[in-house]
A = this chain, B = another copy of it.
Amino acid sequence: MIEKLNLTMLTDFYEITMANGYFESDMADDIAYFDMFFRQIPDGGGYAIMAGLEQVIDYLNNLHFTDEDIAFLEEKHIFSDRFLKYLKEFRFVCDVWAIPEGTPIFPGEPLITVRGPVIQSQFVETMILLLINHQSLIATKANRIVRAAGGRPVMEFGTRRAHGASAAIYGARAAYIGGCAGTACAIADRDYGVAALGTMAHSWVQMYPSEYEAFRKYAEIYPDNCTLLVDTYNVLKSGVPAAIRVFDEMKPENKGIRIDSGDVAYLTKRARKMLDEAGHQDCKIVVSNSLDEYIIQDVIVEGACIDSFGVGERLITSKSEPVFGGVYKLSALEKDGVMIPKIKISENVEKITNPGFKTVYRLFDKETDKTIADVITLDGEPAPGGEDYVIFDPQAIWKRKKLNNFYAKNLRVQVFDKGECVYESPSIEEIKAYCSQQAAALWDETLRFENPQPYYVDLSKELWEMKNHLIEEFNRL
């Protein structure tokens, strides 16, 4: 949908001033490596979910400067004609590696690496961040909410509170990847295969002389999916009795009630009793009132009788933490074919970047297939393996552990080779299934909402030594 648009100019203006600057400094073709990574898991969670890569691929495949773009830049009177001519003939030639969508991800891991002429590898920063930050935020939040629902389906209902059209569409996509069962957003179904569902608003009920008449008409038209909204006037006094009357009379194939206000724990328990006593044990109860993972966990503990959830604004905006703070940092240069690792120093030790061209391995226990740790290694290093492989905490290297009987999986795939896309995105169903399966392989301790055990993300010995060497070099300055 959105990818049909030319979004080349959807960029921070400084990417263009820098591009022109590199061009004017004769540095345009210097080869640079940039890593996208994030530093903190939203909501203090134990892991995040990677999402948005398919849209990054669409964006990179479509990257070009139109005459309209060039004319716009020309009017700024700060760019050279030579540079504008370069943009006119621009063709993306970088290599790109990435962690596939649906993968549980952790702080510091290079989610995406772009290698190529700095004029290009720098330029794509804004959109890579925008797309991955957004969808990873929503996939992560959805995964938490779905986890809280404990097997009950969760529908994404947030379109009207999303931050604009793409937030609604790609938010629905990301929520589905994170585990939602579907969405209210019709276009996400048409364009991305996220099953869309919906029944009625309060206004449907208000349009008829009585609740009963509104329900009865709905049941006549939609006998196969007759979910009635019972809280327009009074859930227990009028809504549920009218629904029962209509179920009795019309005997719809699939029946449900939805409650969108009030104390859902109390109301669902009472409604369940009324429905059961009327012989409608098969009537599902759907709830959809300002929910998130905390409220869902609470009402389930309270014994609420709920079969499925509709979650709106708190999912589609990730209300409790609406920012996924991914960053895009220079990690290496190539000069005359030699790799020069680059580091960004900070007084905050956790903000110091990992230098060099890297990949990430996830280590699994051979017997349980559960994860043990992730290890970031330098390109060209052998995969972690063998007898007595040692992992260690990079901030406290005396904390070490010998591993045996494990296997290592390289989390990253190559996505572009010299500007050519060499990766085919899996279907959304495959991504969703992969996410569910990979999250299930994590330690149980990383799943809880409060103070989850931090997952191990270690550095290989080689990378750790390179990093510390660069820090010491910096300190000598």
User: Chain A: residues with CB nearer than 8 A to chain B?
Assistant: 1-2, 4-5, 7, 9-18, 20-22, 24-25, 27, 30, 32, 34, 68-69, 72, 78, 118, 122, 125-126, 129-131, 133-134, 137-138, 157, 159-171, 184-187, 189-190, 196-204, 206-207, 217-218, 221-222, 224-225, 232-233, 261-262, 313-314, 317-319, 322-326, 328-330, 333, 342, 344-347
Contacts and interface: CB of A to CB of B under 8 A. Distances in A.
12 contacts: A10-B165, A10-B187, A11-B185, A14-B198, A21-B222, A32-B203, A68-B190, A126-B159, A130-B164, A134-B163, A162-B163, A317-B322
A344 B206 contact: yes
B217 A9 contact: no
Contacts of A199: 14, 17
B159 A204 contact: no
B130 A162 contact: yes
Contacts of A346: 261
Nearest to A326: B160
B164 A11 contact: no
A203 B9 contact: no
Contacts of A190: 9, 68-69, 72
A169 B344 contact: no
A78 B9 contact: no
A404 B346 CA distance: 63
Given A12-B184, A24-B221, A206-B344, 9 more contacts: A9-B186, A12-B186, A13-B185, A21-B218, A25-B217, A163-B166, A203-B329, A203-B330, A207-B330
A186 B75 CA distance: 13
Contacts of A16: 186, 198
A51 to B, nearest CB: 12
A232 B343 CA distance: 11
A42 to B, nearest CB: 12
Contacts of A322: 163, 317-319, 322
Contacts of A318: 322
Contact of A1 (B5, B78, B130, B163): B5
B10 A78 contact: no
A13 B324 contact: no
Contact of A344 (B7, B13, B170, B202): B202
A163 B169 contact: no
A190 B73 CA distance: 9
A354 B87 CA distance: 56
Count of this chain's copies in the oligomeric assembly: 2
Nearest to A203: B330
Contact of A184 (B14, B221, B262): B14
A224 B78 CA distance: 9
Contacts of A22: 207
A347 to B, nearest CB: 8
A163 B159 contact: no
Contact of A159 (B12, B157, B217, B319): B12
A325 B313 contact: yes
A7 B204 contact: no
Nearest to A16: B186
A323 B330 contact: no
Nearest to A68: B190
Nearest to A164: B166
Nearest to A12: B184
A186 B10 contact: yes
A168 B198 contact: no
Q: Which 5 A-B pairs have the closest CB atoms?
A: A14-B198, A13-B198, A164-B166, A129-B160, A163-B167
Contacts of A206: 330, 342, 344
Contacts of A342: 206
A323 B185 CA distance: 18
Contacts of A160: 12, 125-126, 129-130, 133, 326, 328
